[in-house]
Amino acid sequence: MGASQTRSESVYQELMDKTGFSLEQIKNLKKRFLQLSGNEETISRENLDAIPALANNPIRKQIIEAFFDKRNQRSSEVGHLEEIGFEQFVMVMSHFRPPALRTSVEEREVMRKEKLQFLFNMHDTDNDGVITLVEYRKVVEELLSKSGAIGHEAARAIADAAMLEVASTNVPDMAPDDFYEGITFEHFEQILKGLEMESRMHIRFLDVDTSTMRCGKSTS
Amino acid sequence: MEDVWAGALWALRVWLYLIVGLIMIPAMFGFSLGISETYMNILVKTLEWATLKIQRANTVERTLNVSASNSLIQRGNGSMEKELGELRRSRPKPPVGGDFTFSDCFYFTLKGIESIVEDEVTQRFTSEELVSWNLLTRTNDFQYISLKLTLVYGLGIFVRYCILAPLRITLALIGLSWLVIGTSAVGFLPNSSVKSWLSEWVHVMCYRICARGLSATIHYHNRENIPKKGGICVANHTSPIDVVILCNDACYAMVGQIHGGLMGVLQRAMVRSCPHVWFERAEMKDRHLVTKRLTDHVNDKTKLPILIFPEGTCVNNTSVMMFKKGSFEIGATIYPVAIKYDPKFGDAFWNSSKYSMVSYLLRMMTSWALVCNVWYLPAMHQQEGEDAVQFANRVKSAIAHQGGLLDLQWDGGLKRAKVKETFKEQQQKEYSSMVVGDDSSSNSD
């Protein structure tokens, strides 16, 4: 291996351990990061906003915001960042990393919980650990058309009905006048218990299998 | 002191005579002495040798680069409905009042993350990645492999910056000034067939000198389809040099905005000898005026074919982006031309947000060479019942197919602007009709 190979590997080793990506995946993500940031050190919301393919996505604001949310950085901090560097970018991406060939049941559980936490954070915009009716309504409105088939009232009705359903499932003996604060993370996990996401909810990198390759300088 | 001056002057004279004799005269009369062919052969051999050296030393890097240049991730091919359906099937039961759950959010989140990791458009505005290194640090970063390679690289720098670049700059200056002088001189003649013949000759000659100034080797294919008078020639756009490449072979009338400064001088000189279509800045906004002037030019069968780049912006020569429909509404014969540069010898893409025109030209002049292929495609006409947009797409596909480029529907203007809100709303409408549509069957209210 040439000198450049080991150097980049050691720089990214920490990142590889923290996020579970392979060296090649990190290098590719780095190239992409530089592309998005215009060769700068950090990415701002505007950089992500400018991606044309993302414009189609109804919840694009929430997705972009998720990158700047401190809760997704696996620390116990809360709040929002203005700009993120490459490490933080990869940390957020790691929620969607492809599972390694040999993952134990516990590891799969951990990954599943991570993905659910990510989705929960996306809905819980005020960081209080609970998805309230107001927050839920916002997501429904974003997903459904603001202008077209579904009007404001209909979207609200759908959100309210779904919320009621969640409440009745999770707090079965709630009196009709009780105020349901919102969906906690436990409730959230409960709702999505049956959802099969392991095989679907990750980015499928087109990888070359580096484990079978031999590096080495042949005599030249 | 005197000797030094005399020596320098003598060297300069020899230099100029060499240039005139070996490069300009052949350029003016269109024959070749074979010097460039020899240069290209040596260059190709050197680059192949360098590539082999790197490949042997770096097996891992090479294979990884090959996979990276095509696509980063594998995306789901299913439509929105299919994927959402699969997600929902694994849920316990649908809630009343709209078949809407968090699982749908998951789908959109994943799609969003995929777009952030890789999207079709942003890729088109960075330079093409090369599988092997062509001894230019601007393409790939320098890696120390062996002493021999480093020496060759160092020699390459010396050759490119100290020998080739001054030569090319001199040629370019001569070519441009000759263009201005020649066309102004021809402009004094009265209108006649001699004048048009002379003007064509002056134009082609000057463009040939400029092409030598970039060490351009151009291969023209299918020359029987060359654009004729009274038509419109459309081509894919990679850099301002496209004009030089195309005009080396035939004469075109240009379309564009009048600039000030050096470009303005060139433009005003050129229009004296044969009619081009130059617009004032204010006139460009008025679409009807633009269309009318183009139509008038086209209808006059004695005028040269118009050259237009319908993409409207420079793209990195791996794909063809959306063609703007303006030139296809005129109803004239369209002659499509495909231009493909060979990235081994130098990257011709002008990233206008990264480099100014002058630094771009300097980069061009310090590359090894410019090799490109030009294919003339058979003429196309707008068919019955086909509107301008469909016609434009048909021409675009033909050009992309011939040049081996990817045919994209995205607008090149996305380089600078954002996608219109209407795209986002479309997706929202589709999704909401899914939700409401299911709702009408399960809702009890």
The whole-number pLDDT of residue B16 equals: 76
Asked if residue A36 has pLDDT above 70, the reply is yes
**In this structure, is the dihedral angle defined by the CA atoms of residues B97, A132, A97 and B418, taken in order, positive or negative?**
positive
Q: Tell which of A23, A30, A145, A219 to mutate to test the B interface (max B CBs under 10 Å).
A: A145
CB contact, 8 Å: A52 with chain B? Answer: yes
Asked if residue B229 has pLDDT above 60, the reply is yes
The whole-number pLDDT of residue A3 equals: 42
Tell me the chain B residues in contact with residue A193 when contact means C-beta distances shorter than 8 Å.
92
Mean per-residue pLDDT, B116-139: 63
Q: Where does the pLDDT of residue B357 fall: very low under 50, low under 70, confident under 90, or very high at 90 and above?
A: confident
CA-CA distances (angstroms) from residue B292 to B177, B283, B297, B331? 33, 11, 9, 12
Q: B291: which 2 tokens?
A: 């269309």
A166-183 pLDDT per residue, tens: 677 666 665 555 556 677
Q: Is B403 helix (H, G, I), strand (E, B) or coil?
A: helix
Tell me the chain B residues in contact with residue A191 when contact means C-beta distances shorter than 8 Å.
101-102
- Spatial separation of the C-alpha atoms in residues A3 and B389, rounded to whole Å: 54
Mean pLDDT of all residues in chain A? Answer: 73
Asked if residue B404 has pLDDT above 60, the reply is yes
Asked if residue B289 has pLDDT above 60, the reply is yes
Q: Do A148 and A165 touch, CB atoms closer than 8 A?
A: no
Tell me the chain B residues in contact with residue A51 when contact means C-beta distances shorter than 8 Å.
115-116, 119, 121-122
The whole-number pLDDT of residue A29 equals: 83
B236-278 pLDDT per residue, tens: 888 888 888 888 888 888 887 787 777 788 888 888 877 888 8
Check if the interface score ipTM surpasses 0.95. Answer: no
The whole-number pLDDT of residue B376 equals: 92
CB contact, 8 Å: A158 with chain B? Answer: yes
Mean pLDDT of all residues in chain B? Answer: 75
CA B379 to chain centre: 21
- Spatial separation of the C-alpha atoms in residues A84 and B203, rounded to whole Å: 53
Tell me the chain A residues in contact with residue B439 when contact means C-beta distances shorter than 8 Å.
158
Q: Where does the pLDDT of residue B315 fall: very low under 50, low under 70, confident under 90, or very high at 90 and above?
A: confident
Mean per-residue pLDDT, B310-337: 83
Asked if residue A157 has pLDDT above 50, the reply is yes
Q: Of the segments A103-107, B7-11, B157-161, which one has the largest average pLDDT value?
A: B7-11
Q: Is B109 helix (H, G, I), strand (E, B) or coil?
A: helix
Q: What DSSP designation does B231 have?
A: -
User: B380 - beta bridge partners?
Assistant: B334
Extended strands (E) in chain A: 43-44, 83-84, 130-131, 183-184, 204-205
The whole-number pLDDT of residue B177 equals: 85
Query: Which residue among B71, B419, B432 places its CB closest to the CB of A206?
Result: B71
Angstroms from B409 CA to nearest CA on chain A: 12
User: B374 - beta bridge partners?
Assistant: B220, B339
B181 residue type, one letter? I
Asked if residue B144 has pLDDT above 70, the reply is no
**In this structure, is the dihedral angle defined by the CA atoms of residues B145, B146, B147 and B149, taken in order, positive or negative?**
negative
Q: Of the segments A141-155, B71-85, B227-241, which one has the largest average pLDDT value?
A: B227-241
B33-87 pLDDT per residue, tens: 667 677 777 777 777 777 777 667 655 444 444 444 445 566 655 566 666 666 6
Asked if residue B128 has pLDDT above 70, the reply is no
Asked if residue B190 has pLDDT above 50, the reply is yes
**Nearest C-alpha in A relative to B68:** A28
Contact criterion met (CB < 8 Å) for B73 and A203: yes
| pTM exceeds 0.90 | no
